[in-house]
Amino acid sequence: MNDAACDLLDEYLAKARSGERAALASLVRAHQRTVYSLALRMLGTRDLAEDLTQDVFMQLNGNLSAIESNRHLGFWLRQVTTNRAIDQLRRRSRVQLTSLDEEPELFCAEDGADPLLQRHLRALLSDLSPQARAVLLLRYQEDLDPMDIARTLDMPINTVKSHLKRSLETMREKTGGATLRCEDQPT
């Protein structure tokens, strides 16, 4: 996000705090992808992800006065979403955790990545513990560095690094190191 966009969102935040509904709607629009994607990939189903997304934004609505900037808002949303998702996963069994197939299928994307491998990686992600899954999502979906992940999940940085290392090793073993690209696939 560039500086101008950040400034604009800071402005929306100030207006939302003073009660301007349109500014609040703009903030929701700007951050809903992050919250929804985290919720979907943590919980595994679209219904649960939509419920969680809604709950998180409702909670934000009541806590706007505590949010200092757009950057803080992003941190707050990621923290609340992952923590609530981890709590939900702890409360229920693993019955619904393998349904990441609800994600729309990605055909050979512009980066040439293999859609089958992507699907396999997402399925492997759903086999991880809730904490490890949250760490990977914050690292590879949200592009946070380990220090920010540790702050978001209130976890020691060494635990974050160890989750990353172990999860990637597991995934590498289970994919057999295969990272086919579109151009490598037989036609």
Partner 1 sequence: MNHDIESGMRSALRPLAPSEEFSQQLLARVAADPQARQKSYGLMPRIARPLAWWLATSLAACLVLAVGVERHLEQQRSQQSGLEARREVLQALRVTSQKLNLAYEAVKSESTSLPDEKPGD
Binding flag, residue 25, partner 1 (CB under 8 A):
yes
Binding flag, residue 172, partner 1 (CB under 8 A):
yes
Of the listed pieces 6-14, 77-85, 87-95, 132-140, which binds partner 1 according to CB under 8 A? 132-140
Binding flag, residue 69, partner 1 (CB under 8 A):
no
Of the listed pieces 2-10, 36-44, 71-79, 153-161, which binds partner 1 according to CB under 8 A? 36-44
Binding flag, residue 104, partner 1 (CB under 8 A):
yes
Residue of the chain from 54, 69, 129, 162 that contacts partner 1 (CB under 8 A): 54
Residue of the chain from 43, 136, 150, 160 that contacts partner 1 (CB under 8 A): 136
Cα 149 to Cα 13, 17, 126, distances in angstroms: 24, 27, 19
